[in-house]
Chain A
Amino acid sequence: MDIDVVKVGMADLNSALHPCMITTLGLGSCVGVALYDPKTKISGLAHVMLPSSEQAKNNSNIAKFADTAIVKLVDDMVKLGAKRERIVAKLAGGAQMFVFNGGSDLMRIGYRNVVASKEKLAELNIPIISEDTGGNYGRTIELYSDDGRLMIKTIGFGIKQI
Protein backbone atom coordinates (compact mmCIF):
# COMPACT_ATOMS: atom_id res chain seq x y z
CA MET A 1 0.00 0.00 0.00
CA ASP A 2 1.31 3.43 -0.90
CA ILE A 3 1.42 5.74 2.04
CA ASP A 4 2.03 9.45 2.23
CA VAL A 5 5.27 10.34 3.97
CA VAL A 6 4.89 13.69 5.67
CA LYS A 7 7.92 15.50 7.06
CA VAL A 8 7.79 17.86 9.99
CA GLY A 9 10.68 20.32 10.39
CA MET A 10 11.91 22.06 13.50
CA ALA A 11 9.22 24.34 14.97
CA ASP A 12 6.72 22.88 12.54
CA LEU A 13 3.61 20.69 12.65
CA ASN A 14 1.62 18.59 10.24
CA SER A 15 -1.38 16.29 10.16
CA ALA A 16 -2.60 13.81 7.58
CA LEU A 17 -5.27 11.27 6.70
CA HIS A 18 -4.69 7.53 6.83
CA PRO A 19 -2.62 5.99 5.25
CA CYS A 20 0.40 8.07 6.18
CA MET A 21 3.69 8.14 8.03
CA ILE A 22 4.63 11.41 9.68
CA THR A 23 8.25 11.89 10.65
CA THR A 24 10.56 14.41 12.23
CA LEU A 25 14.32 13.94 12.12
CA GLY A 26 16.97 14.56 14.73
CA LEU A 27 14.94 15.64 17.74
CA GLY A 28 17.25 16.89 20.47
CA SER A 29 15.97 19.11 23.24
CA CYS A 30 12.83 19.69 21.21
CA VAL A 31 9.82 17.48 21.85
CA GLY A 32 7.87 15.50 19.29
CA VAL A 33 4.17 15.45 20.18
CA ALA A 34 2.44 12.68 18.22
CA LEU A 35 -1.36 12.71 18.20
CA TYR A 36 -3.59 9.95 16.88
CA ASP A 37 -7.28 9.24 16.51
CA PRO A 38 -7.53 5.41 16.58
CA LYS A 39 -10.88 5.29 14.77
CA THR A 40 -10.28 7.54 11.76
CA LYS A 41 -6.49 6.90 11.98
CA ILE A 42 -5.93 10.60 11.40
CA SER A 43 -2.43 11.40 12.62
CA GLY A 44 -0.58 14.55 13.59
CA LEU A 45 2.90 15.47 14.73
CA ALA A 46 4.36 18.67 16.18
CA HIS A 47 8.08 19.42 16.64
CA VAL A 48 8.00 21.78 19.62
CA MET A 49 11.02 23.96 20.45
CA LEU A 50 9.98 26.02 23.43
CA PRO A 51 7.57 25.55 26.34
CA SER A 52 5.47 28.69 26.22
CA SER A 53 4.48 31.35 23.72
CA GLU A 54 3.67 33.70 26.58
CA GLN A 55 7.30 34.25 27.59
CA ALA A 56 8.55 34.64 24.03
CA LYS A 57 9.57 37.95 22.50
CA ASN A 58 8.56 36.72 19.09
CA ASN A 59 5.68 34.26 19.07
CA SER A 60 4.52 34.59 15.48
CA ASN A 61 5.25 30.94 14.69
CA ILE A 62 2.68 29.06 16.75
CA ALA A 63 4.18 25.68 15.82
CA LYS A 64 7.26 26.60 17.84
CA PHE A 65 5.67 26.52 21.29
CA ALA A 66 4.17 23.62 23.23
CA ASP A 67 1.08 25.56 24.32
CA THR A 68 0.06 26.92 20.92
CA ALA A 69 1.33 24.06 18.73
CA ILE A 70 -0.72 21.37 20.45
CA VAL A 71 -3.94 23.40 20.23
CA LYS A 72 -3.33 24.07 16.54
CA LEU A 73 -2.50 20.43 15.80
CA VAL A 74 -5.69 19.20 17.47
CA ASP A 75 -7.73 21.78 15.51
CA ASP A 76 -6.11 20.71 12.24
CA MET A 77 -6.87 17.06 12.95
CA VAL A 78 -10.47 17.84 13.84
CA LYS A 79 -10.79 19.70 10.54
CA LEU A 80 -9.61 16.54 8.77
CA GLY A 81 -12.33 14.55 10.53
CA ALA A 82 -10.76 13.37 13.79
CA LYS A 83 -12.84 13.44 16.95
CA ARG A 84 -11.34 15.51 19.77
CA GLU A 85 -12.44 13.04 22.49
CA ARG A 86 -10.71 10.11 20.83
CA ILE A 87 -7.30 11.68 20.30
CA VAL A 88 -4.40 10.12 22.22
CA ALA A 89 -0.80 11.31 22.53
CA LYS A 90 2.73 9.93 22.53
CA LEU A 91 5.78 11.99 23.41
CA ALA A 92 9.44 11.67 22.44
CA GLY A 93 12.51 13.88 22.72
CA GLY A 94 13.30 16.50 25.33
CA ALA A 95 16.90 15.33 25.69
CA GLN A 96 19.69 17.20 27.37
CA MET A 97 22.33 17.13 24.64
CA PHE A 98 25.13 18.75 26.63
CA VAL A 99 25.94 18.26 30.28
CA PHE A 100 27.10 21.38 32.09
CA ASN A 101 27.75 21.91 35.75
CA GLY A 102 25.26 24.21 37.37
CA GLY A 103 22.44 23.51 34.94
CA SER A 104 21.44 26.85 33.43
CA ASP A 105 18.11 27.44 31.73
CA LEU A 106 19.62 26.52 28.40
CA MET A 107 20.43 23.08 29.75
CA ARG A 108 17.05 22.25 31.25
CA ILE A 109 15.03 23.27 28.21
CA GLY A 110 14.37 19.68 27.08
CA TYR A 111 12.82 18.81 30.41
CA ARG A 112 10.77 22.03 30.41
CA ASN A 113 9.49 21.27 26.92
CA VAL A 114 8.28 17.86 28.10
CA VAL A 115 6.58 19.31 31.18
CA ALA A 116 4.87 22.07 29.16
CA SER A 117 3.64 19.56 26.56
CA LYS A 118 2.19 17.35 29.29
CA GLU A 119 0.46 20.29 30.93
CA LYS A 120 -1.18 21.35 27.69
CA LEU A 121 -2.29 17.79 26.88
CA ALA A 122 -3.77 17.41 30.38
CA GLU A 123 -5.62 20.69 29.95
CA LEU A 124 -7.12 19.40 26.68
CA ASN A 125 -7.95 16.02 28.29
CA ILE A 126 -5.73 14.15 25.85
CA PRO A 127 -4.27 11.03 27.47
CA ILE A 128 -0.55 10.29 27.04
CA ILE A 129 -0.31 6.59 26.35
CA SER A 130 3.47 6.32 26.10
CA GLU A 131 6.61 8.41 26.06
CA ASP A 132 10.33 8.18 25.47
CA THR A 133 11.76 11.42 26.78
CA GLY A 134 14.92 12.72 28.45
CA GLY A 135 18.35 11.16 28.14
CA ASN A 136 21.26 12.82 26.35
CA TYR A 137 20.78 11.63 22.79
CA GLY A 138 18.95 12.60 19.62
CA ARG A 139 15.93 10.80 18.21
CA THR A 140 14.28 10.46 14.81
CA ILE A 141 10.60 9.55 15.17
CA GLU A 142 8.03 8.10 12.78
CA LEU A 143 4.30 7.95 13.46
CA TYR A 144 2.45 5.30 11.44
CA SER A 145 -1.25 5.84 10.86
CA ASP A 146 -2.21 2.15 10.47
CA ASP A 147 -1.90 1.46 14.21
CA GLY A 148 -0.55 4.69 15.72
CA ARG A 149 2.81 3.20 16.59
CA LEU A 150 5.69 5.59 17.12
CA MET A 151 9.08 4.32 15.97
CA ILE A 152 12.09 5.92 17.63
CA LYS A 153 15.53 5.70 16.05
CA THR A 154 18.75 6.78 17.74
CA ILE A 155 22.47 6.64 17.15
CA GLY A 156 23.94 4.25 19.68
CA PHE A 157 20.75 3.66 21.66
CA GLY A 158 18.97 1.41 19.22
CA ILE A 159 15.50 1.51 17.71
CA LYS A 160 12.33 1.14 19.70
CA GLN A 161 8.61 1.37 19.30
CA ILE A 162 6.25 3.00 21.76
Chain B
Amino acid sequence: MAISFDELNHLQLDVLKEIGNIGAGNAVTSLAKMLDKRVDMAVPKANILGFDKVTQILGGEEMLVVGILLNVTGDITGSMMFTMDIHAARQLVNILFGNKVSTSLEFDELELSALKEIGNILTASYLSALAGLTNLKILPSVPELAIDMAGAILSVPAIEFGKIGDSVLYIETEFSEGITKVFGDFLLIPDVDSYEVLLKALGVIE
Protein backbone atom coordinates (compact mmCIF):
# COMPACT_ATOMS: atom_id res chain seq x y z
CA MET B 1 0.00 0.00 0.00
CA ALA B 2 1.27 3.45 -0.80
CA ILE B 3 0.79 6.15 1.79
CA SER B 4 0.93 9.78 0.79
CA PHE B 5 1.31 12.66 3.19
CA ASP B 6 -2.15 13.84 2.29
CA GLU B 7 -3.55 10.72 3.93
CA LEU B 8 -1.57 10.84 7.15
CA ASN B 9 -3.30 11.88 10.34
CA HIS B 10 -1.95 14.39 12.86
CA LEU B 11 -0.45 11.77 15.12
CA GLN B 12 1.42 10.11 12.27
CA LEU B 13 2.69 13.46 11.04
CA ASP B 14 3.83 14.44 14.53
CA VAL B 15 5.72 11.18 14.86
CA LEU B 16 7.46 11.72 11.52
CA LYS B 17 8.34 15.27 12.55
CA GLU B 18 9.68 14.08 15.87
CA ILE B 19 11.95 11.47 14.33
CA GLY B 20 13.16 14.22 12.04
CA ASN B 21 14.04 16.32 15.06
CA ILE B 22 15.85 13.49 16.78
CA GLY B 23 17.71 12.62 13.59
CA ALA B 24 18.82 16.21 13.06
CA GLY B 25 19.89 16.47 16.71
CA ASN B 26 22.02 13.39 16.38
CA ALA B 27 23.51 14.74 13.17
CA VAL B 28 24.53 18.01 14.77
CA THR B 29 26.12 16.16 17.71
CA SER B 30 28.23 14.24 15.21
CA LEU B 31 29.19 17.45 13.48
CA ALA B 32 30.36 18.91 16.81
CA LYS B 33 32.59 15.86 17.30
CA MET B 34 33.99 16.18 13.81
CA LEU B 35 34.77 19.87 14.27
CA ASP B 36 35.86 19.27 17.87
CA LYS B 37 33.86 22.35 18.77
CA ARG B 38 30.71 23.14 20.58
CA VAL B 39 27.84 23.38 18.11
CA ASP B 40 24.51 24.77 19.21
CA MET B 41 21.34 23.83 17.47
CA ALA B 42 17.99 25.58 17.40
CA VAL B 43 14.93 23.31 17.61
CA PRO B 44 14.56 22.04 14.06
CA LYS B 45 11.45 22.99 12.18
CA ALA B 46 9.80 19.99 10.61
CA ASN B 47 7.11 20.57 8.06
CA ILE B 48 5.17 18.94 5.32
CA LEU B 49 5.49 21.32 2.41
CA GLY B 50 4.73 21.58 -1.29
CA PHE B 51 7.80 21.54 -3.55
CA ASP B 52 7.42 25.19 -4.49
CA LYS B 53 7.51 26.20 -0.82
CA VAL B 54 10.70 24.23 -0.24
CA THR B 55 12.57 26.11 -2.96
CA GLN B 56 11.22 29.37 -1.53
CA ILE B 57 12.70 28.56 1.86
CA LEU B 58 16.03 27.80 0.26
CA GLY B 59 15.91 31.29 -1.23
CA GLY B 60 14.30 30.64 -4.60
CA GLU B 61 14.79 28.17 -7.41
CA GLU B 62 17.94 29.81 -8.70
CA MET B 63 19.73 30.09 -5.35
CA LEU B 64 23.09 28.34 -5.43
CA VAL B 65 23.04 25.44 -2.96
CA VAL B 66 25.06 22.39 -2.04
CA GLY B 67 23.09 19.16 -2.19
CA ILE B 68 24.25 15.86 -0.76
CA LEU B 69 22.28 12.80 -1.78
CA LEU B 70 22.55 9.18 -0.74
CA ASN B 71 20.57 6.04 -1.24
CA VAL B 72 19.10 4.05 1.60
CA THR B 73 18.70 0.30 1.60
CA GLY B 74 17.77 -2.27 4.24
CA ASP B 75 14.32 -2.59 5.84
CA ILE B 76 13.34 0.71 4.29
CA THR B 77 14.51 1.94 0.90
CA GLY B 78 14.66 5.41 -0.54
CA SER B 79 17.01 8.32 -0.39
CA MET B 80 18.03 11.13 1.86
CA MET B 81 19.16 14.61 1.01
CA PHE B 82 20.95 17.30 2.94
CA THR B 83 21.10 20.77 1.43
CA MET B 84 22.71 23.96 2.54
CA ASP B 85 23.21 27.41 1.19
CA ILE B 86 26.54 27.88 -0.59
CA HIS B 87 27.62 30.51 1.95
CA ALA B 88 26.84 28.11 4.81
CA ALA B 89 28.93 25.46 3.07
CA ARG B 90 31.82 27.89 2.82
CA GLN B 91 31.55 28.70 6.53
CA LEU B 92 31.55 25.03 7.47
CA VAL B 93 34.60 24.35 5.33
CA ASN B 94 36.37 27.34 6.87
CA ILE B 95 35.65 26.04 10.38
CA LEU B 96 36.79 22.55 9.43
CA PHE B 97 40.08 23.83 8.05
CA GLY B 98 40.89 25.69 11.25
CA ASN B 99 39.11 29.01 10.90
CA LYS B 100 40.38 29.64 7.42
CA VAL B 101 39.21 33.01 6.07
CA SER B 102 37.75 32.61 2.63
CA THR B 103 34.59 33.89 1.02
CA SER B 104 35.08 32.06 -2.28
CA LEU B 105 32.02 30.24 -3.57
CA GLU B 106 34.26 27.86 -5.49
CA PHE B 107 35.60 24.82 -3.72
CA ASP B 108 38.81 22.96 -4.52
CA GLU B 109 39.04 19.15 -4.56
CA LEU B 110 40.03 18.92 -0.92
CA GLU B 111 37.23 21.25 0.18
CA LEU B 112 34.70 19.33 -1.89
CA SER B 113 35.67 16.04 -0.31
CA ALA B 114 35.46 17.71 3.12
CA LEU B 115 31.94 18.89 2.28
CA LYS B 116 31.02 15.40 1.15
CA GLU B 117 32.35 14.03 4.42
CA ILE B 118 30.29 16.55 6.39
CA GLY B 119 27.25 15.44 4.42
CA ASN B 120 28.15 11.83 5.04
CA ILE B 121 28.42 12.30 8.80
CA LEU B 122 25.25 14.39 9.08
CA THR B 123 23.10 12.05 7.03
CA ALA B 124 24.54 8.84 8.48
CA SER B 125 23.95 10.01 12.06
CA TYR B 126 20.45 11.16 11.14
CA LEU B 127 19.72 7.70 9.76
CA SER B 128 21.33 5.89 12.67
CA ALA B 129 19.04 7.78 15.06
CA LEU B 130 16.12 6.69 12.91
CA ALA B 131 17.35 3.07 12.90
CA GLY B 132 17.74 3.14 16.68
CA LEU B 133 14.21 4.43 17.22
CA THR B 134 12.56 2.00 14.88
CA ASN B 135 14.78 -1.08 15.25
CA LEU B 136 14.93 -1.16 11.50
CA LYS B 137 18.03 -1.93 9.48
CA ILE B 138 18.85 1.25 7.54
CA LEU B 139 21.97 1.22 5.38
CA PRO B 140 23.15 4.47 3.78
CA SER B 141 25.21 4.49 0.58
CA VAL B 142 28.24 6.69 -0.04
CA PRO B 143 26.83 10.19 -0.66
CA GLU B 144 27.14 12.18 -3.85
CA LEU B 145 27.45 15.92 -3.97
CA ALA B 146 26.22 18.53 -6.42
CA ILE B 147 26.37 22.32 -6.37
CA ASP B 148 23.73 23.99 -8.51
CA MET B 149 20.41 25.88 -8.49
CA ALA B 150 18.13 24.89 -5.61
CA GLY B 151 15.31 24.01 -8.00
CA ALA B 152 17.53 21.66 -9.98
CA ILE B 153 18.99 19.98 -6.89
CA LEU B 154 15.56 19.59 -5.30
CA SER B 155 14.04 18.21 -8.48
CA VAL B 156 15.68 14.89 -7.62
CA PRO B 157 13.88 14.29 -4.29
CA ALA B 158 10.79 16.13 -5.56
CA ILE B 159 10.45 13.62 -8.38
CA GLU B 160 10.58 10.77 -5.88
CA PHE B 161 7.91 12.42 -3.74
CA GLY B 162 6.02 13.31 -6.88
CA LYS B 163 5.26 9.65 -7.49
CA ILE B 164 3.04 9.56 -4.41
CA GLY B 165 1.99 13.13 -3.73
CA ASP B 166 2.83 16.79 -3.98
CA SER B 167 4.56 17.45 -0.69
CA VAL B 168 7.73 16.55 1.16
CA LEU B 169 8.79 16.00 4.76
CA TYR B 170 11.22 18.78 5.23
CA ILE B 171 13.37 19.50 8.28
CA GLU B 172 15.09 22.82 8.63
CA THR B 173 17.98 22.93 11.09
CA GLU B 174 19.93 25.91 12.24
CA PHE B 175 23.18 25.36 14.03
CA SER B 176 25.95 27.64 15.09
CA GLU B 177 29.56 27.42 16.10
CA GLY B 178 30.46 30.52 18.07
CA ILE B 179 28.98 33.40 16.16
CA THR B 180 28.85 31.54 12.86
CA LYS B 181 25.32 30.48 12.00
CA VAL B 182 24.82 27.67 9.56
CA PHE B 183 21.51 26.57 8.11
CA GLY B 184 20.95 23.15 6.67
CA ASP B 185 17.97 21.16 5.55
CA PHE B 186 17.23 17.46 5.62
CA LEU B 187 14.84 15.75 3.29
CA LEU B 188 13.99 12.14 4.02
CA ILE B 189 12.64 10.40 0.96
CA PRO B 190 11.41 6.87 1.69
CA ASP B 191 10.21 4.87 -1.29
CA VAL B 192 6.47 4.55 -1.67
CA ASP B 193 6.14 1.38 0.39
CA SER B 194 8.61 2.36 3.08
CA TYR B 195 6.34 4.88 4.83
CA GLU B 196 4.20 2.04 5.96
CA VAL B 197 7.21 0.09 7.24
CA LEU B 198 8.43 3.18 9.05
CA LEU B 199 5.08 4.04 10.64
CA LYS B 200 4.49 0.42 11.62
CA ALA B 201 7.91 0.19 13.27
CA LEU B 202 7.06 3.33 15.23
CA GLY B 203 3.77 1.81 16.32
CA VAL B 204 1.53 4.51 14.86
CA ILE B 205 -0.20 2.21 12.40
CA GLU B 206 -1.07 -1.47 12.78
Which A residues form the contact surface with B (CB < 8 A)?
Answer: 9-11, 25-30, 49-50, 56-58, 61, 64, 95, 97-100, 104, 106, 109, 136-140, 155
A57 neighbours in B (Cβ, 8 Å): 2, 4, 163-164, 192
A95 to B155, alpha carbons, bound, how many Å? 10
The one of A10, A27, A100, A155 in contact with B71, judged by C-beta atoms closer than 8 angstroms, is: A100
CB distance from A63 to the nearest CB of B (A): 11
A10 and B158 form a contact (CB under 8 A): yes
B156 and A97 form a contact (CB under 8 A): yes
A30 to B161, alpha carbons, bound, how many Å? 13
B153 and A140 form a contact (CB under 8 A): no
B166 and A11 form a contact (CB under 8 A): yes
Most B Cβ at <10 Å: residue of A57, A61, A140: A57
A109 and B148 form a contact (CB under 8 A): no
CB distance from B106 to the nearest CB of A (A): 10
Number of interface residues of B (CB under 8 A): 35
| Dominant SS among interface residues on chain A | loop
B165 and A58 form a contact (CB under 8 A): yes
A30 neighbours in B (Cβ, 8 Å): 155, 159
Most A Cβ at <10 Å: residue of B4, B71, B151, B164: B151
The chain A residue with its CB closest to the CB of B160 is A106
A111 to B141, alpha carbons, bound, how many Å? 23
A-binding segment of B22-30, B58-66, B128-136: B58-66
B69 proximal to A (CB < 8 A): yes
B152 and A11 form a contact (CB under 8 A): no
B150 proximal to A (CB < 8 A): yes
B162 and A64 form a contact (CB under 8 A): yes
B192 and A136 form a contact (CB under 8 A): no
A98 to B158, alpha carbons, bound, how many Å? 14
